[in-house]
Chains A and B, each alone.
Chain A
Amino acid sequence: MKPLEQTTWQEIELGGLLREPGSARAYRTGDWRSQHPVWTKSRCIRCGVCWTVCPEPAIVEEPGGYFDMDPNYCKGCGTCARECVTGCITMVPEEE
């Protein structure tokens, strides 16, 4: 699919139809982020609550059962940090 910012009005599909599934994946909501979660592994019990509550979902399980964010889609909402059972997630501002 052609990138949105290069699509002309003549190329718009009839009625704004999307013929390919999964188009939302092409939109990197990670651009919105002003802060991101950082896990302190020593306090993480690998319960997966952060993975469960992430609304995107933009938290991925890593080898060893620990978790990290997917920078392409994490909006930095902080839900994971708020819900973390042990408080091992800290929201860190993005660098300028």
Chain B
Amino acid sequence: MAKPKAKPAPATAYAPSHRVGMEVSIAVSDAVQLARAEAIAAYPITPQTHIVEHLSGVVANGDLEAEFINVESEHSAMSACIGMSASGARTYTATSSQGLALMHEILFIASAMRFPIVMTVANRALSGPLSIWNDHGDIMAARDIGWIQVFVENGQEAFDHTIMAFKIAENPKVLLPTIVNMDGFILSHVVEALEMVDQETVDNFLPPYSPRHRLDPKNPVTMGAFAMPEIYTEVKMNHQATLTNSYEHIVSVWDEWARLTGRSYNPVESYRTEDAKILLLTMGCLSEVAKIAVDELREADLPVGLLRLRLWRPFPFKDLRDAVGDAELLIVCDRAISLGGPGGPVMSEVRSALYGQATRPQIQGYIVGLGGRDVPPEAFKDIVNKAQAEMAQGTGPEFHLYGVRE
């Protein structure tokens, strides 16, 4: 695929530091446009629809020089993305819930073949029962696909991380597909004030994709070959090491963005954790609600802080251990349930990451906000109270499905 010619700034170029109010899905679409994506294949699914609807518009209008392939399913969308990325094009897609589930088998292939596709997942509950509302059940079912996975908390983060995702994914030492998770509806469909970045800044930050491997008739290679038992383990180890080692490049790109925009991001974010005996841990936009609860609990002199897990894969073991520090109680709030298992997948991994520590907090798991159930600040305050009572009591269940009617 030919590289797009240098174009004059498209219609969505904003002056630096210009704050605008816009729907977060449109901001993500603008970020993809500013990143000069060259190839897009997507199938519309609630609540991701506005992103790809808007992108198909800008491509059709000539504001983004890209191939937009309309496909009949998400299985085909991801397959087309692999083909386009293999041709050397900067490739983007977006999906949600059933769509993510339908592309499942292809997700592993994209990462194994090391194609730096960027995908937004507007997180939504999986059927059944059918639900279009938010939770993290979709992405937790795709936890082991070998992609870099980031969770964002608000519109600004969704915009920033979409642009940064291309730079991370396309780093020649990374070359891994990257998912930016954002909560469906609660984030995708709200209008927020965002600080946009202009085209020139993005162009300087994000050079054109220079693939290390691509389909080229002059230099033919075999992609996606069969692996014998003699070599499969070595291929997996190579992927594992690449994903783990991508950490330093992720952090480096985030740092560069911070120098450029003043907005800094860390794998694990700490909020009012100084001297905190009790820590809440959240992912995605629950974090902003949890902050309100932490503020109110701090006013009542309760030593509570909040950890926000931004980087999900590669899992930031050291950052998490450092951030937990000497806390006595860690309450992990999951937005997904591993049925018949340990409860919340995040709690399970956090508990595992801390198990070998000489001192570790008591860890309790609360599953909240399934299938779009609202989680107000009062819920976090109630959870902190209940968790303290359970700690005093000494024992409790494996996990709590918060708010379930009995």
Contacts and interface: CB of A to CB of B under 8 A. Distances in A.
A27 B235 CA distance: 18
Interface of B: 112-115, 175, 212-213, 220-225, 227-228, 230-231, 233-235, 237-238, 241
B230 A18 contact: no
Contact of A15 (B113, B237, B241): B113
B234 A17 contact: no
Given A4-B230, A19-B221, A21-B222, A14 B235 contact: no
Contacts of A8: 234
B228 A4 contact: yes
B213 A17 contact: yes
Contacts of B234: 7-9, 11-12
B228 A27 contact: yes
Contacts of A14: 114, 175, 212-213
A92 B238 CA distance: 43
B286 to A, nearest CB: 36
A9 B237 CA distance: 6
Nearest to A16: B235
A9 B241 contact: yes
Chain B interface main SS type: loop
Nearest to A11: B234
A11 B237 CA distance: 11
B228 A15 contact: no
Interface of A: 4-5, 7-12, 14-19, 21, 23, 27
Given A16-B227, A27-B228, 15 more contacts: A4-B228, A4-B230, A7-B231, A7-B234, A9-B234, A9-B238, A14-B114, A15-B112, A15-B114, A16-B112, A16-B224, A17-B221, A19-B221, A19-B222, A23-B222
Contacts of A18: 221-222, 225
B222 A15 contact: no
A35 to B, nearest CB: 23
A7 B230 CA distance: 9
Contact of A21 (B220, B224, B237): B220
Nearest to B242: A14
A7 B234 CA distance: 8
A4 B235 CA distance: 11
18 contacts: A4-B230, A5-B230, A7-B234, A9-B233, A9-B238, A9-B241, A11-B234, A14-B212, A16-B223, A16-B224, A16-B225, A16-B227, A17-B222, A19-B221, A19-B222, A21-B220, A21-B222, A23-B222
B244 to A, nearest CB: 12
Contacts of A5: 230
B115 A15 contact: yes
Given A9-B241, A23-B222, A15 B230 contact: no
Contacts of B225: 16, 18, 23
Contacts of B231: 4, 7, 12
Contacts of A15: 112-115, 175, 213, 223
Contacts of A23: 222, 225
Nearest to A18: B222
B236 to A, nearest CB: 8
> Considering residues B115, B213, B220, B234, which has the most beta carbons from chain A within 10 angstroms of its beta carbon?
B234
Contacts of B175: 14-15
Nearest to A3: B230
B109 to A, nearest CB: 10
B41 to A, nearest CB: 19
A9 B236 CA distance: 8
Closest 3 CB pairs of A and B: A15-B114, A9-B237, A18-B222
B112 to A, nearest CB: 7
A27 B228 CA distance: 10
Contacts of A17: 213, 221-223
A87 B18 CA distance: 83
Contact of A16 (B113, B212, B220): B113
> Considering residues A9, A11, A16, which has the most beta carbons from chain B within 10 angstroms of its beta carbon?
A16
Contacts of A19: 221-222
A21 B223 CA distance: 11
B85 to A, nearest CB: 11
